[in-house]
Amino acid sequence: MLSREQIRNIAIIAHVDHGKTTLVDFLFRQTGTFRANEQVQERAMDSNDLEREKGITILAKNTAVNYRGVKINIVDTPGHADFGGEVERGLRLVDGVLLLVDAAEGPLPQTRFVLGKALALGLPGVVVVNKVDRQDARVPEVLDAIYSLFIDLGANEHQIEFPVIYAVARAGRSSLRLSDFDDLPAGKAAAPGAAPHPGEEPGSRARTLEPLLDAVLETVPPPRKAETTHDKLQMLVANLDYDDYVGRLAVGRLASGSIEVGQQVAVCRADGSTPRGKVTKIYAFEGLKKVEISEAGPGEIISLAGIEEVSIGDTIADPEHPIPLERIHVDEPTMSMVFKVNDGPFAGREGKYVTSRNLRERLQREAYRNVSIRVFDTESPDAFKVIGRGELQLAVIVETMRREGYELTVSNPEPITKEVDGQLQEPMELMVCDVPQTAVGVVTERLGPRKGRMTEMQNIGSDRVRLTFRVPARGLVGFRNEFLTITRGEGIMSSQFDGYDVWQGKVPRRSNGAIVSDREGETVAYALFDIQERGGLFYGPGVPVYEGMICGEHAHPNDLDVNVTRGRKLTNIRAAGRDENIILSPPREMSLEKALEWINEDELVEVTPKNVRLRKKVLPAGDRYRLERERKRADGLV
């Protein structure tokens, strides 16, 4: 059993793409976690298929490396504010943080979001300025921005005295001095073309990540002793896992006391009850593997098997002294979506789980594992309202369910409003974007109708400008694709929740109507050739469609019902003129995220294991026309 002094628990904080998962890869290699001849895939910590595809971290994961006789437990936290529930759970396991910042981009919104949580918990930090080999690196300015960020977030005098490490994570190099990277070409470091140290090879002082690991050992304290008068067992459950052989696993850090296999424990629940259980297995983390151990001491991050009825936030305690720890609190959800059973004509053709019972069980299982979402019943027995932290989080849940074999339809994301002092309030987002100087005007112009208000504008060199806007959360739904178009793919944008504010008024949605199929069948190139002049198509020829399914975007504001299954009329009379050559423009591929951003209030996204389709809520064209007439009559427009 390790003593407290032999343990360090740290979380890695970084914005998306600043290199935290790559850094962990090299920590594994340099601390001997992997054998020299072991085949290891890149970004080993992003183990989930979705994480690998999107290149982001979604789930907070635990790992550990051994360095100079000390076990360093590492929690890899997500960079997106949408996965804040994962962040809050991860930070309850650690005693310090490693803040990783890109040497060119500087601290971005998600860095601010997670760091604010860490500083509020009183955790000390080690700052790593990564990618100092970038051609556009601006290390002094980035360091100033980091100090400003710590001051803005209310860091105390101990937290602001952080050590700074300069690193190139993808090469596994770090140093306390930037001048040690004297092998970099002129212009890549703040000391461009610095002369090598006398009698040394260029760059020989910055060859490994040892300076970083030494700084972690010096700055991050051993696990704190729980503020109690007793030495009895206390462990806050911060995460849940599942093993096919031993069942449910409760992951957490021992705050006090020790635990061994076969021990009787009590579970302190939210309702005050304390059912008992028996620990059958204990696992510690080592590299990417879970290692079975017989006992564990205070400060260790472990997984316990044998306790079935346990939830995130519960405390596993001594049965004679069941004293609970403070539960995990997560920020309030801000967006909602309605998940509904697929009731379209193609329902049940591709999915394995298609009933409302399957859907309810899966969503309740997700809410049980993920503390930042909630599931509610609606008036319809086939539909469930899911509220979460943002559009991306909800889209990830839908994509995960799709891959598991579920069929469902989802509505467009809507903000969760609340009434304060008789005023309706809605969630606001702080959006930061880096754009070319030429795109500043058009980005500002497009955010105007979406009720975006610019709060800061900063020139960051290389003909790029950083703009900060405060925008209603609903104003950003569907903006990402438009933003990439107007900045010609050169813009970077990210946002985080920034509290509630008074309802900002009507935000215009999509200005174009939809091209809707008016019958069931298969798309035909002959029909699509004429229709493509009316707008952009989402499908090519040979795709099965049904009445009410959306096949494209109309060039005008109204919806257009068309026959996409119409073939050429064949006769035995030879045509006098030459046949027109049918050339179709490539269809616009609609991914799940793009589809959720694109749909309006009267539309749904139909999700199956093989396809993502867009459709109208009311499928028959006649019924839709009748409903539209009634709506106009109610509004006094007819």
- Strands across the sheet with 7-14, in order? 61-67, 70-76, 7-14, 96-102, 125-130, 164-168, 173-175
Q: Which stretch of 51-65, 322-336, 572-586 has the lowest confidence by average pLDDT?
A: 51-65
- Label residue 66 by pLDDT band (50, 70, 90): confident
- Say what the pLDDT of residue 189 is: 42
Q: How far is CA 585 from the centre of its chain?
A: 34
Q: Which of 502, 536, 566 is the last residue of a domain?
A: 502
pLDDT: is 396 or 194 the higher one?
Answer: 396
224 inside domain: no
* Mean pLDDT calculated for residue range 498-508: 85
Q: Does residue 98 share a domain with residue 16?
A: yes
Q: Does residue 534 share a domain with residue 616?
A: yes
323 inside domain: no
Of 534, 564, 548, nearest to 625 by C-alpha is 548
Q: Does residue 454 share a domain with residue 312?
A: no
Q: Which stretch of 54-68, 70-84, 243-257, 290-304 has the lowest confidence by average pLDDT?
A: 54-68
Q: Which residues pair with 8 in a beta bridge?
A: 72
Q: Which of 317, 343, 371 is the last residue of a domain?
A: 317
To 5 degrees, how large is the angle CA 442–CA 446–CA 447? Answer: 120
Q: Residue 197: CB partners within 8 Å, gap ≥ 6?
A: 182, 204, 205
Q: Does residue 400 share a domain with residue 432?
A: no
Give the CATH number for residue 132: 3.40.50.300
Give the CATH number for residue 287: 2.40.30.10
- Say what the pLDDT of residue 248 is: 77
* Mean pLDDT calculated for residue range 12-24: 76
For residue 591, give the DSSP letter. -
Which residue intervals of 180-321 are DSSP H helices? 210-219
pLDDT: is 614 or 493 the higher one?
Answer: 614
Q: Does residue 622 share a domain with residue 563?
A: yes
Q: Which residues pair with 253 in a beta bridge?
A: 236, 301
* Mean pLDDT calculated for residue range 414-442: 87
Percent of the chain with pLDDT strictly greater than 90: 13
- Say what the pLDDT of residue 46 is: 44
284 inside domain: yes
325 inside domain: no
What are the tens digits of pLDDT across the range 429-466?
A: 888 888 888 889 999 998 998 899 999 898 877 788 88
Q: Does residue 399 share a domain with residue 362?
A: yes
- Label residue 92 by pLDDT band (50, 70, 90): confident
Q: Does residue 462 share a domain with residue 359?
A: no
Q: What 3-state DSSP class applies to 283?
A: strand
Name the range with the highest mean pLDDT among 153-157, 347-351, 371-375, 393-397.
Answer: 347-351
pTM of the model: 0.69
Cα→Cα distances 427→158, 325, 335, Å: 34, 31, 9
- Label residue 561 by pLDDT band (50, 70, 90): very high
Give the CATH number for residue 485: 3.30.70.240
* Mean pLDDT calculated for residue range 268-294: 83
pLDDT: is 432 or 573 the higher one?
Answer: 432
Q: Does residue 183 share a domain with residue 58?
A: yes
Q: Does residue 83 share a domain with residue 191?
A: yes
* Mean pLDDT calculated for residue range 270-278: 85
pLDDT: is 81 or 181 the higher one?
Answer: 181
Of 3, 4, 2, 1, nearest to 224 by C-alpha is 4
Domain that holds residue 453: 418-502
> With 50 as the cut, is the pLDDT of residue 372 above it?
yes
Q: In total, how many domains does the chain have?
A: 5
- Label residue 608 by pLDDT band (50, 70, 90): very high
- Say what the pLDDT of residue 36 is: 47
- Say what the pLDDT of residue 107 is: 82
pLDDT: is 37 or 161 the higher one?
Answer: 161
